[in-house]
Copies of this chain bind each other. A is one copy, B any other.
Amino acid sequence: MCLKERLYAVTDHKHEEIKLVVVGSVGLDDIETPFTKRERLLGGSVSYACAGASFFARTGMVGIVGEDFPEDYLALYRHFGIDLDGLQRAAGKTFAWSGVYDADMINRRTLSTALNVFADFTPELPDPYRDAPFLLLGNISPELQLHVLNEARDPRFVTADTMDLWIETAREPLMELIGRIDMLTLNDSEARLLTGEYHLKKAAAKMLEWGPSFVVIKKGEHGAMLFSRMGVFLLPAYPVEEVVDPTGAGDTFAGGFMGHLASANEASETVVRESLLYGSVIASYGVEAFSLDRLQALHIDQVWDRYGEFRSMLHPGV
């Protein structure tokens, strides 16, 4: 529908310099919810994050797809205004994941994971990407995240996401990475696993000591907590009327956040908090449909509207 009208991604940003680079996985997802089943959906952390970011800033994608990757999906990326010079195409099949959601639409079970071309992925930054001021290192191995970080030329703000797998199997490179980034994002159980601290404030304090200026502890449908030298910011999730597919919500959140931060081109506490709200708004739209379906039809005016509504929901004393 209104893709052409979308303020940033298509109209304004297409010929701008890359402000944000995102690295992560591209996947083809089979997803089953209590209500329906969908196959070979466009997914993967980098798809969700770049789509989320595209509302605010010109974004370059670093990832890999196989020969089976549908042309339509590349066209969709382009519709979002995402730069694809960093997207590799390799012989073989695209990373594929399948999962099934419980009745609560929150907990899920992975049925199968086929790494395919992702198994031998070495991310490479095209030259224009290396000067991008903002860098989002999606949830891939810390070695690959470090590799990308080493290719970047003095980025202004780097966020890295991680997970229990890397905490358990690659702690050393992960710790090196954490020492070199501005923001670490992970969920509450991962924060506890990484730090050995049960209490999240203590866990966050430990992580902040390791280097980052900001730590975001994600709590899924319950929102997130931002920790910094300025204290704590409690970010509830926007209450979505009807969650159709929560897959990728954390990535859309991170992408929307980093896109907004990149558009503001600063990383003060105020802008970081504001950008987290925007990330939350984008993620709230994302879960209203499968894959990127809702984001694809989303107009920037709707982002502003929901942002305003969300702010009013957070205001103690109207």
Flag if B239 contacts A200 (CB, 8 Å): yes
* A219 smallest CB distance to B (angstroms): 7
Give the complex CA separation of A314 and B201 in angstroms: 16
* A27 smallest CB distance to B (angstroms): 29
Judge whether A132 is part of the interface by a CB distance below 8 angstroms: no
Our pick among B235, B241, B312, B314 for the contact of A202 (Cβ within 8 Å) is B241
Q: Which residue of B lies closest to A309 (CB)?
A: B231
Judge whether A225 is part of the interface by a CB distance below 8 angstroms: yes
> How many residues of A are counted as interface, with CB atoms below 8 angstroms from the partner's CB atoms?
34
CB-CB contacts below 8 Å: A220-245 with B: 222-223, 225, 230-236, 239, 241-242
Stretch at the interface among A90-98, A151-159, A270-278: A270-278
Flag if A270 contacts B317 (CB, 8 Å): yes
Our pick among B234, B270, B317 for the contact of A239 (Cβ within 8 Å) is B234
Contacts of A231 in B (CB 8 A): 309, 312-313
Flag if A316 contacts B277 (CB, 8 Å): yes
Flag if B239 contacts A236 (CB, 8 Å): no
Flag if B313 contacts A270 (CB, 8 Å): no
Our pick among B199, B270, B318 for the contact of A270 (Cβ within 8 Å) is B318
Judge whether A17 is part of the interface by a CB distance below 8 angstroms: no
Q: Which residue of B lies closest to A269 (CB)?
A: B318
Contacts of A223 in B (CB 8 A): 222, 236
Per-position 1/0 for A301-318, Cβ under 8 A of B: 000000001011111111
Contacts of A273 in B (CB 8 A): 315-318
Known contacts A222-B219, A230-B318, A316-B314: does B239 contact A201 (CB below 8 Å)? yes
CB-CB contacts below 8 Å: A196-230 with B: 199-202, 219, 222-223, 225, 230
Give the complex CA separation of A199 and B233 in angstroms: 26
Interface residues of A (CB under 8 A from B): 199-202, 219, 222-223, 225, 230-236, 239, 241-242, 269-271, 273-274, 276-277, 309, 311-318
